[in-house]
Homo-oligomer: A and B are copies of this chain.
Amino acid sequence: MTIALSSDTTAGGLPDGPRTCPAGYRQSYPAIERNPPPFDVPALQRLLDGEYSEIRTSIKTLLSQPEFAYPEAPDLARYRATVLHWTRQVAATGLGRTFMPASVGGEQNLPKFIAAFETFGYHDLSLLIKLGVQFGLFAGSIQRLGTEYHHMKYLPAAATTELLGCFAMTEIGHGSNVQGLKTSAVFQAETDGFIVHTPSFSAGKNYIGNAGEHARLATVFAQLEVQGQHHGVHAFLVPIRDAAGRPLPGITIADNGLKMGLNGVDNGRLWFDRVHVPRREMLNRFAEVSPDGNYRSAIKNPGVRFFTMIGTLVSGRISIAASANSVAKSALTIAIRYGARRRQFGPPTAREETLLLDFPAHQMKLMPLLANAYALDFALKRMVRLNETAGPDQTREIETSAAALKAFATWNTTATVQACREACGGEGYLAVNRLAALRADTDIFTTFEGDNTVLMQLVAKNLLTELSGKVKGMPRLRRAAWLAQEQLTVLAPRQTLLKFHAGTAHLLHSSVQAMYLRLRERCLLLRHASAFQRLMAREKLDAYTAFLRLQPELLELAHAFVARTIQETFIEAIAPLENRPLQSALKRLADLFAVGHLYEQRAWYLENGVFSRRKSEALGRLQQRLCREVRGEAVALTDAFGIPDACLAAPIAL
């Protein structure tokens, strides 16, 4: 929602003139042209809703109630108040307890919570983020980093929003580099507590959601020091406001003020001036300090301990990716429906002008993004399941996939909303059609919960680490030979006639697509791992510097990884479907995803002799053909998202 406007609250802030057209006209657009869908739309929606259709439906019902209607033009204070009110309404449904432990009356059902969060992505995004801060970050940190004392003391009140809180990790001078943050927590035996302190301006906590106005308690991340020993970043519960909302002694709070979007969330900065925190308020699941000042942790390696704590944030990344994809779905629904009713230009002889969706360039703009939204839907569902069932040996796999999907999904949302805005022309620029708010509200998704570029580096680093685990122990020469041999094996297809094969059936074969996607990922991994080794061995660089030198190449590897995994998951998800027409519609989207990606990356395949010119050009033609085919089903494919009209709200799409 765009923030506005006038101090005159009754007029909606718009001066002058009637808001509608003259009485004589029917104020409407032509009907949306719906081809009879070749598949069962409700069946597809059921497939997308999955096993959590009940909570999705009940949230949609809630959000369709009049009190959840987007306010036309609130000022900042009223917008924040509205979002807080909505947050409390949502809490009253029991949502906050969905993922909490049974000991506090919770359902311990994280997948259900994520399904709910995904559904809130169809509505006002300030509400989504407020819920995410209160339940996912604040209550979530207490649940995951704390122990029973903290659970019993805080979670019930957090679930009802009686206790509002915030998650104070990021600092002005340290965003993505959490290990480098500067806020300190020094143990003081004589008071049986910690002194939490902000040593400088730039160590102030920044962009903290809920901190600007509403939070009373903060989960604060600080460098723990016990008896002169530094133990790295740990989390502490620090009260920041009294019951009347006044900052407590030693706490300085500054409002972050207006933002590009998400203005219904009160972000703020926090500084601590030697604030005393009782020892028990340290979140001590992974480490604690005894009254006599002994630091104890079951995890001996400080690096491992840090990443274990931070690793509990992984569900936040999955949730953000899922809700970002909901926004992409909203934007696509708006733009595709508008494209199916708005006409422009046409052959001189035609009775009617051409529908926007019938322009090939329009199809090329929107259809690949529709395929991405579907592909991500299945990839994120698999991620949620994996996160539930994974054993401790899969921690890195989870971290890698969640980071990659969060980055891919949020970048994809930014690109999608942008393309949809342009595809709707001037209508897309009017606030009433909602793309403005979707665009502004989600722009920060690529930055928060881990900056996307930093996350993609993490992906690449994990892939290198995994490989190095495999070759560990090999002598250097042997390792070099192994890497070279692997690379040759991977690139074997270029030695064969396969590279000249440009037939449609071949290119539409899922396993052929998968083979090419895997080939590139694998080859980049082996090549960059060798380059990394060489930089360290020959130029005597430390790992950080070698990594920095190869940064663009390693980011390329991370992109190849995520494309490959998404395609594989998509194929896995549709293989068992028994509803053939549905399966074939989804297969077309999977084809568009794979073919589009291969075509986009064709320069690499050409450079490496994997594709012939004929094959490369055939992929381009095939992509256009798939866009044309998907266009025929596009409106039905957006209908299957099942976004309530009350949430969509854009007049051009209804």
The interface of chain A, by Cβ under 8 A from chain B, is 2-9, 13-22, 24-29, 73, 75-77, 80, 170, 173-177, 180, 198, 200-202, 204, 206-207, 212-213, 245, 247, 252-261, 263, 266, 268-269, 271, 273, 342-349, 353-354, 359-361, 364, 414, 418, 421-422, 425-426, 428-432, 435-436, 439-440, 443-444, 446-448, 451-453, 542, 544-545, 548-549, 551-552, 555, 602-603, 606-609, 613, 616-617, 624
Contacts and interface: CB of A to CB of B under 8 A. Distances in A.
A643 to B, nearest CB: 21
A109 B624 CA distance: 47
Which of A5, A349, A360: most chain B Cβ within 10 A?
A: A5
Given A15-B213, A201-B28, A3 B6 contact: no
A552 B551 CA distance: 33
For this chain, the copies found in one complex come to 2
A180 B414 CA distance: 33
A80 B4 CA distance: 12
A15 to B, nearest CB: 5
Given A17-B268, A255-B14, A257-B14, A76 B552 contact: no
Contacts of A443: 421, 429, 439
A134 B343 CA distance: 30
Given A180-B345, A347-B544, A613-B609, A75 B5 contact: yes
Contact of A361 (B7, B21, B552): B552
A418 B14 CA distance: 30
B360 A552 contact: yes
A359 B548 contact: yes
A545 B347 contact: yes
A385 B394 CA distance: 64
Contacts of A17: 212-213, 247, 252-255, 268
Contacts of A5: 3, 75-77, 258
B260 A429 contact: yes
B76 A548 contact: no
B431 A258 contact: yes
A426 B440 contact: no
Contact of A201 (B27, B198, B273): B27
Given A258-B430, A360-B548, A13 B247 contact: no
Contacts of A430: 256-260
A360 B544 contact: no
A166 to B, nearest CB: 13
B201 A552 contact: no
A116 B112 CA distance: 57
A552 B365 CA distance: 10
A4 B426 contact: no
A261 to B, nearest CB: 8
B29 A260 contact: no
B418 A447 contact: no
A19 B257 contact: yes
Which of A2, A16, A77, A261: most chain B Cβ within 10 A?
A: A16
Given A28-B201, A175-B425, A426-B170, A75 B18 contact: no
Contacts of A607: 602, 606, 613, 616-617
B552 A364 contact: yes
A440 B616 CA distance: 38
Contacts of A428: 447
Which of A359, A430, A436: most chain B Cβ within 10 A?
A: A430
B425 A414 contact: no
Contacts of A257: 14, 19, 430-432
Contact of A426 (B80, B342, B448, B551): B448
A348 B303 CA distance: 13
